[in-house]
Structure formats: C-alpha cells, structure tokens
Structure 1
C-alpha cells in the first residue's frame, strides 16, 4: 500500500467528500491546498461525450486565456528569409528550415509550440511521427500554419492555449498558476470551457460536457459543477 506524506494526507483530507463544487469553491479549495515549494500549475480536465476516433467527433481548437497561463512558452518557427527574420523579431526561440527539421529528427525538441509558413509544410510534414504525438504539429485550423508568423508567435507567448480531445474524449490544459488570484483563475477557466463548448463537433450526440475537474500539479483533483463552469 502506498505511503503518503503529511502534506498529501492533509490535502486528501481537505478534498474528501467534496465534489461538483461551484467554480469559485473549487478554485479556492485547490489554491488553499497547493503547498508545493514551487508555483504549481492549475490544470483542468474536461470529459466530453465524444469519440475522437471518428472525424466528425474530433474536438480541437485554440483559446487565448484572458490572464495568460503564467508559463514561459518556447516557440519554434519553420520559415525562410524575411519570414524567418520576422519570427525572430517577434520573439521566436528557434527558427529554421531544413536545419530545424534535422534538429527535430534527432530527437532534440526544446520548444512548446511549433509554427510554420505554408511553404514549409512539405518539410514539416516529414516530422509528423515526431511532432504529432506531442501535439506540436502545425495546423492551419489553430493558426499555427500562417504567413503572419509575428502574430502567431505573439499569441503563443501571450497565453494562447491549444486543446485537443484524446482517445477517451478528455481535454486537458493548464489554465494558470496557483499564484494567480482566484478571480484570474476563474476568468481563465470560464474562457477555456467556453472555447471547448464552442468547438462542439457536429457528430457529438447526447450530453457533450460530461465532467469538469481541476487540480494543482501536485494536489488532488476536485470535480466542478458543469452548470457552474458553463454558465447554464
């Protein structure tokens, strides 16, 4: 049987018997019991009534959180010439073409977001098996295949969050840091849930938003009342 430290046991006791809380109460509970020695991320998980194996039930999108994520995002851009210069000026961490492809193929992936100009996609396409499983493959639907690389870099650095349903129909993301105010976290949570709601696919049947839960990086999770999270 696993042994837990005093901090973990205290957190588990605080969460015991609590479920389907309002957004405010859930955030307060998570913040009050995040006691790690670092600024933990507040994470959200949405259980959706979809089967992403079917094309008409895939949930995918992007949202700019009103208060950012509190995370330093490293951005790689596949571009040449003037567009490469534009990306660097906008704050991209890594910029390249074939040379960047070779770096990625070697397994050295030191970035959190990947952007590409349309003419780079034949090169980027060769990296599908590497970038795809990490949800890093540039995609025009979420604005990461674009000629406006400066805007895309700025959005990535400024708190834009991409989301995608996994096999079990679960969408998860970081929506801020424990050091954020409760109001900032609430605004971010509502913005994220609203974006996922708006991304409801045509093939979704029955109940779409089945469960909402939040936690801190090292803390237990707590379920949030769906109506409270969706404003219904």
Structure 2
C-alpha cells in the first residue's frame, strides 16, 4: 500500500474518512485541503445501484452547472456553410467537414467536446471507432447533434458537463475549481447530484444513489450525505 505524503496527511487532519458529511461542510473541508501549487479541480464521485451492462440501467446525460467548471473546453464542430460560420462566431475552436474527419483519422484529437449538425452525421459516423471510446461521439440525447450548433458551442464553453456511468456503476465529474467560493461549489455539486437523480433509469431497483464523495485533484476525499446534496437551497 502506497504511503500517504506529508501534505496529504496534513490535509486529512480533522477529517473522519468514514463519516457522512453535509454538503456545505464537505465542500469547506475539501477547499481547505486543496493546497497544491495549482488551481485544483473539485471532483464529485457517485456510486450508483445500477448495472450499466443492461440497456434499461444506463445513466447518461448532460447538466449545465450554474457557475461553470472553471475549465477551458476546446470544441470541435462538424458543419458546412452557414452552420460552420455560426459555430465559428459562437467560439468553436475547430470547424470543418470532410477535412476535419481526415484530421481526426490522422490522430488529431485536440478537443474535449465534439458537436455536429445533423447533415454531417454520415461523415462523423465514420469516426465511431476513434471518437466512441473517448466519449466524444456526437449524440442527439446529449445535444451534440443539433441544427443549433451555435447554442451547443456556447453551452459547452459555458460550463456544461456530460456524465456517463462506468461499467461498475460509478459516475464522476469535475464540478469546479478550488478557487471557486464555497457557495459556488455547493451550487454546482447540488446541480450535478440532482441531474443524476433525475436521470434514474427505469431498470434501477432498490437504492439508486448509494454513496457520494467530493475531493480535489491532490487533496483528501470527503463522503457526502447525499440527502443534503438533494435539498433545495
């Protein structure tokens, strides 16, 4: 078992790793423990009572965080003509059609979000083996296949977070930065948890959200009392 470094050991002082902590107190503790020399990402992890191998137990969606993520997101858009110009005007970093497909096939993956106008899906579909494993494949359910490419670009740039449960039922996402205020982080975490709750699949039985925790990139994790995260502010 790896040894805990002095910095992390100090960060864990005063934290009961087995206790369930109200969201506001958990955020306060995680912010206090984020002492790295860079602006750490604040992350939320949830253990769900699902088996994503079954079609009726998959959890996937998107949520707009009220205070954004604090992260610069590079967006690629597959579009032609006026739609391409709209995407550029909205702030897309990379815009193209067949030329962009060829770049991606050649290994260019310098983006974190991929959006496509509906007429481009015949082209984008040829990139399934490249984009799919990286969760970059445009999807109508996530709003990334849309005729309103400008709105999709603005949403991606403005703090929209995509989520998808892994095969073991764990779902996680970055919900802000350590430099955010406690209030901003609480609002973002609450929005994220409520989005997961709303995305409960029809096949989920018993306890849906089993456990939750919040942590910073280099800091300690704190278990969240999920009931407090679902409260209306």
Match of residue 78 from structure 2: 78
Match of residue 157 from structure 1: 157
Deviation at 1:64? 0.6
Match of residue 225 from structure 2: 225
Distance in 1 between residues matched to 2:3 and 2:165, nearest whole Å: 33
> Residues 197-232 of structure 1, C-alpha deviation per residue, up to 9 Å, x if partnerless?
111111111110111111001112111012111229
Deviation at 1:3? 4.0
Note the aligned Cα RMSD (angstroms): 1.3
Deviation at 1:128? 1.2
> Residues 104-156 of structure 1, C-alpha deviation per residue, up to 9 Å, x if partnerless?
11222111100001111111111111111111110000100000000000000
Distance in 1 between residues matched to 2:17 and 2:95, nearest whole Å: 50
Which SS does the other structure have where 2:45 is aligned?
Answer: strand
Query: Relative to structure 2, which stretch is displaced further, 2-11 or 134-143?
Result: 2-11
Q: Does 1:87 align with 2:87?
A: yes
Structure 1: give runs of 5+ residues left out of the alignment.
none
Distance in 1 between residues matched to 2:152 and 2:200, nearest whole Å: 24
Which SS does the other structure have where 1:77 is aligned?
Answer: strand
Match of residue 59 from structure 1: 59
User: Contact 2:11/2:32 (CA < 8 Å) preserved in 1?
Assistant: no
Alignment of 1:88-167 (within 5 A): 88-167=88-167
Distance in 1 between residues matched to 2:102 and 2:12, nearest whole Å: 46
| CA gap 1:82/1:229 in 2 versus in 1, 3 angstroms | same
Which SS does the other structure have where 1:231 is aligned?
Answer: coil
Distance in 1 between residues matched to 2:85 and 2:219, nearest whole Å: 42
| CA gap 1:167/1:17 in 2 versus in 1, 3 angstroms | closer
Deviation at 1:17? 4.0
TM-score (norm 2): 0.96
User: Contact 2:143/2:152 (CA < 8 Å) preserved in 1?
Assistant: yes
Distance in 2 between residues matched to 1:196 and 1:17, nearest whole Å: 24
User: Contact 2:80/2:97 (CA < 8 Å) preserved in 1?
Assistant: yes
Distance in 2 between residues matched to 1:196 and 1:163, nearest whole Å: 8
Distance in 2 between residues matched to 1:3 and 1:50, nearest whole Å: 33
Distance in 2 between residues matched to 1:143 and 1:194, nearest whole Å: 19
Match of residue 15 from structure 1: 15
Match of residue 206 from structure 2: 206
- Would you say how many aligned residue pairs link Structure 1 and Structure 2? 232
Deviation at 1:18? 5.0
Distance in 2 between residues matched to 1:192 and 1:3, nearest whole Å: 32
Deviation at 1:13? 3.2
